[in-house]
Chains A and B, each alone.
Chain A
């Protein structure tokens, strides 16, 4: 029974040694913990591959209008002439040709490649916007709750519990049409931006709790540290305490949770679009495309293949990168 602490002692002894050696080994210029993490990240092959892939995806999304120009086809252009009498694309593999790299949608005859590029844009925009908003809300509320404690902490905790108790899917299913109805009425044409906005809002309402809890816990752990007291003893105010003293020490977990939240929002967006509460057919989106493709699973399997593989690669790359980031920022957690 007494063995595990023993080994803990042994490890602590060993682990403290490299730390102690650091000053002697280095030159006059100090390396910040952030720089050390960056060095570790650069040495990690998974991080490199997934990082390059992510940058590629982001460039694709950013350059969508440019690609549209070069490619010569817009996301809403229909090529009815390339469909047969049943609305199925002519040719092999869903109509893959030199002009239409990933083929055409059955029915409307829109180009799948350019819709994927724009879908990527939609997905990444929604996911990043939602992750940013949730992270901001979570960091601010969590840090305040953790640092101030008392009644404020109790209220935030209560709200967090309440939010967590609400069933996300049901509320999203109920809320989205209601809000849309409220703004656009029975027959109004819903704009694409509005759908995106509603989605982001829904994610923001439900997504901030995990970051808030994480940050609150970290802040509580740091609050009792003596460097925080030192700042207090010098008369530092709330803003200085939170933003200068505390936050720099919890960037690592925030960053990791951010990098893991993005793929989660990508899949959530796809899922919501899939069940029809998300975006309108107008806006190119992975979920929407997969939903549409289900009718043609037998007759045109290529239609489900391209968006499917795309969303898989995107989420996979994000998750791999997030894990690599965690290892780089907190090397002890992986051992």
Chain B
């Protein structure tokens, strides 16, 4: 990208050596030890609690989790969209070598839209109903290209509409969001996100509100656009099937923490965390015995105010009693699948390979998986 100008040091950095080192490394987005807290009437909500990951350009990270797992909060933190009065964010988020945490509002706003953009689940509420779609896209362009003429912005918007597969883009430019169908609206939203050619695209449940046939189109479109623009994509979803189709890496979140991370092959074909097992086995599939019961995860998702002590998943975990009480007392660290001890937090964002946060030993996990889960015929 064109981010050649050095990061403005809005605030004295606590770790003076770190950002300089990392600016040259591969990953476009690097999040390390991110913690997001909200102070509410009912107590402190630890929405994200020590999450680390990195995404390179041209790669897609799928963040999987249920509602309240902190996946959306993470993405909003990257975009710097949390209200600073109510939110405490610690950790590091570097976008194209620039620290986002602690950056002045004005600076983040400049990054947003130009270097990173977001696609929302519900394009109807993300598009302004009283302006034409084209005008909104053109304006998003002019915000970051103040010198562009009105005509150039219009042309750019029409090009983008055409690019995302909207027929007759010149005519569509002058229509209002309500005149677009659901799929078309999501395409327009994508056009708007991409109008400034951002290097990082965050898609928060971009297809959840869409029909399956349209979902397939949008996922294809995202993949095509990524191949062309070589952008880094974070795809937030609860649907493991979607992740399996488009993601290169997967991060599974539970109760605001990362419980498993790895390549899509590793996580979906050889899942390590009992929560991931549960997610996989509770998805109804088109294969296998239709009369067999699904294997749901028992219980309900935890409250982020009152997270269970130790491993947050232990009250729902079928194997929690095999850890000799450690599940209840000790938060398991994210570590390589076959390693005994945790990687240090600083290197975690970069750490490659298959990571899991579970007290069970590798051999025990393998045995349990072979016995209880693989036999159901979920991931083959």
Contacts and interface: CB of A to CB of B under 8 A. Distances in A.
Per the CB under 8 Å rule, do A and B touch in the complex?
A: yes
B277 interface: no
B68 interface: yes
> For A2, A5, A18, A22, which residue has the most chain B Cβ atoms within 10 angstroms?
A2
A20 B302 CA distance: 8
Contacts of A3: 81
Interface stretch (A9-17, A159-167, A168-176): A9-17
A23 B128 CA distance: 36
B79 A6 contact: yes
Interface in A1-41: 1-3, 5-11, 13-14, 16-18, 20-25
A233 B120 CA distance: 35
Interface in B43-93: 43, 45, 47, 67-68, 72-73, 76, 79, 81-83, 86
Contacts of B120: 5-6, 9
Contacts of A7: 81, 83
Interface in A36-78: none
B136 to A, nearest CB: 6
Contacts of A8: 125
Contacts of A22: 42
Contact of B305 (A5, A13, A17): A17
Contacts of B139: 1
> For A9, A23, A24, which residue has the most chain B Cβ atoms within 10 angstroms?
A9
A23 B125 CA distance: 30
A5 B129 CA distance: 12
Given A1-B128, A9-B76, A18 B305 contact: yes
A17 B68 contact: yes
Provide the main secondary structure of the chain A interface.
Answer: helix
A285 to B, nearest CB: 44
B126 A5 contact: yes
B76 A21 contact: no
Contacts, number: 81
Interface in A112-146: none
B131 interface: yes
A6 B80 CA distance: 11
B45 A18 contact: yes
Contact of A17 (B38, B82, B118, B128): B38
B68 A6 contact: no
B125 A17 contact: no
B88 to A, nearest CB: 12
A16 B82 CA distance: 15
Given A1-B136, A2-B192, A6-B118, A21 B72 contact: no
A20 B125 contact: no
A21 B82 contact: no
Given A1-B131, A2-B192, A13 B42 contact: no
Given A2-B192, A14-B86, A16-B68, A21 B126 contact: no
Contact of A13 (B43, B73, B131): B73
Given A2-B140, A5-B120, A14 B303 contact: no
B72 A13 contact: yes
Nearest to B42: A18
A25 B305 contact: yes
B81 A10 contact: yes
A18 B86 CA distance: 14
Interface string B166-199: 0000000000000000000000000010000000
Given A5-B126, A10-B76, A17 B81 contact: no
Contacts of B302: 24
B95 interface: no
B41 A17 contact: no
A236 to B, nearest CB: 31
Nearest to A40: B41
Interface in B304-338: 304-306
A132 B289 CA distance: 64
Contact of B47 (A5, A17, A23): A17
Given A5-B120, A5-B126, A14-B40, A24 B303 contact: yes
Contacts of A11: 83
Contacts of A13: 47, 72-73, 76
Contacts of B73: 10, 13-14
A8 B81 CA distance: 10
A13 B68 CA distance: 8
A1 B125 contact: no
A6 B81 contact: yes
B140 A21 contact: no
A42 B296 CA distance: 43
26 contacts: A2-B136, A3-B81, A5-B120, A6-B79, A6-B81, A6-B120, A6-B126, A7-B83, A9-B72, A9-B204, A10-B73, A10-B81, A13-B73, A14-B38, A14-B45, A16-B68, A17-B40, A17-B47, A17-B303, A18-B42, A18-B45, A20-B301, A20-B304, A21-B45, A24-B302, A25-B306
Per CB-CB distance, the 10 closest pairs between chain A and chain B, nearest first, are: A21-B303, A21-B305, A18-B42, A5-B126, A24-B303, A24-B306, A17-B45, A18-B40, A10-B76, A6-B81
Given A2-B140, A25-B303, 4 more contacts: A1-B136, A2-B192, A11-B83, A13-B72
Interface of A: 1-3, 5-11, 13-14, 16-18, 20-25
